[in-house]
Amino acid sequence: MPKTHRPEDVERLKVGTIIRKDDKHSKMEVEIPEVKSTGDYNKAPVYIYYDWCKKCGICVAFCPTGALGRRPDGAPYVPHPEKCIHCEMCDKLCPDFAITGAKRKEK
């Protein structure tokens, strides 16, 4: 079996961040604020796959509510998870398939 790059073999460490085991670049220290209010949705509104991200900034520029922000190295993170409205604009506009919206919780 060839080694796959599927995001299944990724581990979620903190809210708003996922880091792959063998990823050296995403080991930088980043402050990630705690989630204040989550509503009916999952705690983390988006999952970011830093291995595939090329730091173009499209997801941050077109986030309609400003839930996404940029780290010092240019990659996105989620400073305001409570602002996310699950429009999935970042998901659709990401050219690298590196960010995906968490599904809404079914009531």
| Residue 82 binding other proteins, by CB under 8 A | no
**Number of residues assigned to the chain:** 107
How far does the chain reach from its first CA to its final CA, in angstroms?
39
| Among the listed residues 57, 64, 66, 69, the single contact to other proteins using CB under 8 A | 57
| Residue 6 binding other proteins, by CB under 8 A | yes
CA distances from 102 to 23, 24, 29, 66, 81 (A): 22, 25, 24, 17, 12
The smaller minimum CB distance to other proteins, of residues 39 and 57, is found at 57
| Residue 14 binding other proteins, by CB under 8 A | no
| Residue 79 binding other proteins, by CB under 8 A | no
The smaller minimum CB distance to other proteins, of residues 62 and 83, is found at 62
Strand positions, DSSP E, 11-55: 11-14, 17-19, 46-48
In the region spanning residues 21 to 40, those forming contacts with other proteins, defined by CB under 8 A, are: none
- Footprint on this chain of other proteins (rule: CB under 8 A): 2-8, 10-12, 18, 47, 49, 51-58, 60-62, 91-98, 100, 102-103
